Amino acid sequence: MTAISIIGAGPGGLTCARILQRHGIPVTVYDRDPHRAARNQGGTLDLHADDGQIALREAGLLDEFFRLARPEGQEMRQYSSVGELRSHHLPAPDELFKPEIDRGQLRDLLLDSLEPGTVKWGHALASTDGHVLNFKTGDAVETELVIGADGAFSRVRPVLSPAVPQYTGVSFLEAWFDDVDNRHAEIAALVGQGGAHAADGERGLFAQRNSGGHIRVYIIRRNPADVTGLSTEELRAGLLAEFAGWSPGLRQLVSDNDGAYVDRPIMVLPVEHTWAHRPGVTLLGDAAHLMPPLGVGVNMAMLDASDLALALVGAATLDEGVRAYESIMLPRSAEIAKMLDGRAADLLDTDIPDFGEQ
């Protein structure tokens, strides 16, 4: 029997596993990907000094994080839809409150810190009752504690809660730009070293510099039309029509991308999402409290992971540790979820809020 099983090899699950191992507690992580390089891990993340960085300190990885992170990524520009620069935050040389790091780099940092064989790849969870893990491979594993760190559509969550993610009415189309300083020089100059945002109340753009000369742009729209079956060219033509009144420079963020668009509807869990304690199972991160992408998600997941691991380390039994963790995490997540309730539409405001600084 496996004592502690974590479902999901994202930042939250891996942080929890790393801290447990630092304290001599065995743990196994199961992930549905066939191997660590099976897919692109996504864009850039800002890890805050008061949550994400605390978790990395407990994991013994904070110095390595700072060697990889991009403090210059804290630069932020706000534009009007006609291209006027309305505000510009340029970080001080020693500003380290929320430096950026590519999600893939963070995942590799965490993976490389674990004992060999900790992560079992190719193990997509089919179901669990909290004691037996049934995988789509047909394998079954008994466990004393299952930790659901498996994101928005968690397979562990149904053991504790009937809640399912709900669509907010706001959606992203993700666009990628490669070798930007050479191939997209105007866009590189517009975005700078960090992020750039523009909106007119009904639609918006958020661009983020990633490492390696890449920029990701999130085209933000309210209740967009179904994009299923549309070609890239058809999507591009429709977007240019939607952004017809915007400046030519900003319209390049919509039209000059390399490759296809990726549809990412913004989903949330009901507020406030909680559950009655059940021995042998708990949740962290988006599996526990899926919220709009307003600067708190990965940081909360990693803080959850740290709190859970340390609670398990300090408790006489696994169940006492889980109870101690849930007594901290559930009120915290409920408070933040209330603050963000209905705020996905803020991404369309001319001044985008940064809840991560609050």
Residue 118, domain CATH: 3.50.50.60
Neighbour tally for 115: CB within 10 Å = 11
Asked whether residue 205 is assigned to any structural domain, the reply reads: no
pTM over 0.85: yes
Percent with pLDDT over 70 in the chain: 97
Asked whether residue 316 is assigned to any structural domain, the reply reads: yes
Are residues 18 and 114 in contact, defined by beta-carbon separation less than 8 angstroms? yes
pLDDT in tens, 300-351: 999 999 999 999 999 999 999 999 999 999 999 999 999 998 888 888 888 7
Question: Which pLDDT band, with edges at 50, 70 and 90, does 358 fall under?
Answer: very low
Give the position of tokens 């300090």. 314
Asked whether residue 260 is assigned to any structural domain, the reply reads: no
Q: How many domains does the chain have?
A: 1
Asked whether residue 159 is assigned to any structural domain, the reply reads: yes
Asked whether residue 138 is assigned to any structural domain, the reply reads: yes
Residue 83 φ/ψ, nearest 5 degrees = 95, 10
pLDDT given for residue 224 in this prediction = 78
Which residues form the domain of 298? 2-70+101-165+269-343
Give the position of tokens 């309730």. 341
Asked whether residue 82 is assigned to any structural domain, the reply reads: no
Instruction: Select from 43, 177, 41, 162 the least CA-distant residue to 111.
Output: 41
For residues 135 and 327, give the distance between their C-alpha atoms in angstroms, rounded to a whole number.
Answer: 30
For residues 106 and 291, give the distance between their C-alpha atoms in angstroms, rounded to a whole number.
Answer: 21
Asked whether residue 291 is assigned to any structural domain, the reply reads: yes
Statement: residue 355 has pLDDT above 60? no
Asked whether residue 276 is assigned to any structural domain, the reply reads: yes
pLDDT in tens, 276-309: 999 999 999 999 999 998 878 999 999 999 999 9
